[in-house]
Amino acid sequence: MSREIIPLHIMSAFQAEPPELDFVIPGFLAGTVGSLYAPGGVGKSFLALEIAASVAGVDLLGLGHHHTGRTLYIALEDPEIVLRRRLYAIGSHLSSQQRELFAEKVEVLPMLGVPFDLQDGQHADWLTERAEGIRLIIVDTLSRSHSGDESNNGEMANLLRVLERIGANTGAAILFLHHVNKSSGRERNGDQFAIRGASALLDNARFGAAITYVEDDDAAAGVRIRYAVSKNNYAAPIPHRYFLRHEGGVLLPAPQEQDEETGESPKEQRMGQRRNHKPKALPSLLNPFGSPYLAAKNGETHAW
């Protein structure tokens, strides 16, 4: 084993008040593994970059007070030019001081096409060493970080153990980005059973959040995204949050009344009464900044 296992001193646990839990973002405990999952093109990579900004102390998302630190972003899916465009769009919403803080505390590694397999001990050791002093590691996406069978519970449980070991050895929270299964993508379902592949991917994680499009009768309202924490082992339930997509793909908070008990907006409550009907694809008017999926479907281009 890579570290010594020391039995917990039970009497001291009875007598000494434990420290407060250290959350990287609300509900996501430092040193643990979590997942952010969504249908393709909704904006999970953008949201992940903005979460990195929040951890750095630049809170565009309105996530609230939490300790800050450094983020290591492993970009396995997108070319450098796309990463630069996303950062440029985010930078347009930041002051010069906030830009400096972001640049100081967020490290983005463009690794498209670079051999990287967390099931390879050398690659896992490399990430452990690279993560020294890091508060949050973002793996974008999980499917490009291993060579195993995504539908095999045993293999995915072993992969999660690798991530858990890195988190335990470094103290960093590890957030992996992932997709939803096809039926959940069609129905815009963000519950715990929507994640693609083996159930161990979310069963063994300690935190899970999903983002999905929210249909709106008012096209002028823009593209509204719902952020829902579907799994949270160590904190009180977290209400849904809503974001609007702005120029370049940047997500910013969208004011929205919510039901205190369900966390749903009035629009979602109305939609819930019609869930027996198959949702229609969002028209391109509701997607002015370009979902790759919808752009391809409609013969359009997308800028992010």
Decide if pLDDT at 166 tops 50: yes
pLDDT class of 64 with cuts at 50, 70, 90: confident
CA distance 59 to 50: 8
Per-residue pLDDT averaged across 253-276, rounded? 56
What radius of gyration, in Å, describes the C-alpha atoms of the chain?
19
Query: Does the pLDDT of residue 302 top 50, yes or no?
Result: no
Q: What is the pLDDT of residue 291?
A: 42
CATH of domain 22-254+264-298: 3.40.50.300
Mean pLDDT across 159-186? 86
**Direct distance between the N- and C-terminal alpha carbons of the chain, in angstroms, rounded to an integer:** 43
Domain ranges, ordered by start, for the chain: 22-254+264-298
Averaged pLDDT for residues 92-119: 96
Which tens digits make up the pLDDT trace of 31-45? 999 999 998 888 999
pLDDT tens-place string over residues 207-222:
999 999 887 655 444 5
β-strands 251-253, 241-245 pairing: antiparallel
Q: What is the pLDDT of residue 287?
A: 38
